[in-house]
Amino acid sequence: KAGVTQTPRYLIKTRGQQVTLSCSPISGHRSVSWYQQTPGQGLQFLFEYFSETQRNKGNFPGRFSGRQFSNSRSEMNVSTLELGDSALYLCASSLSTSSYNEQFFGPGTRLTVL
């Protein structure tokens, strides 16, 4: 069974631009979560989707948004990029409706904002 895939793997943008990252969960997984990883802040939760509904959102500005499609694939969008948005963005999928289940992570998208 294929793992969580994220595209693109690497991305370079300039301040003020917007970016869309994509995540395909493991087949059969309906929950998708997004995390931002930086050296200073560590791993921070962005949002979680299940069956196209956002169930929880982290403490990030409105420039960060996401959505989930009927096939469980998810995208996150960051508008008006700032230097501080440079990070590794990790997507994770989970089988169950419960938050207690193991999350399987993708390889991440490395975003660099110049």
Partner 1 sequence: AQTVTQSQPEMSVQEAETVTLSCTYDTSESNYYLFWYKQPPSRQMILVIRQEAYKQQNATENRFSVNFQKAAKSFSLKISDSQLGDTAMYFCAFGGSNYKLTFGKGTLLTVNP
Binding site for partner 1 (CB under 8 A): 31, 33, 35, 42-43, 45, 48, 50, 55-56, 58, 88, 90, 92, 99-108
Which residues are within 8 A (CB) of 15 and not within 5 positions of it... i.e. 6 or more apart?
Answer: 81, 82, 83, 113, 114
Element (H, E) at 35: strand 31-38
Least CB distance from residue 90 to partner 1, whole Å? 7
Least CB distance from residue 60 to partner 1, whole Å? 12
Least CB distance from residue 103 to partner 1, whole Å? 6
Phi, psi of 111, rounded to the nearest 5 degrees: -105, 125
Nearer to partner 1, 14 or 43 (CB): 43
- Cβ(16)–Cβ(105) below 8 Å: no
Nearer to partner 1, 18 or 38 (CB): 38
Least CB distance from residue 97 to partner 1, whole Å? 9
Alpha helices in 1-114 (DSSP H): none
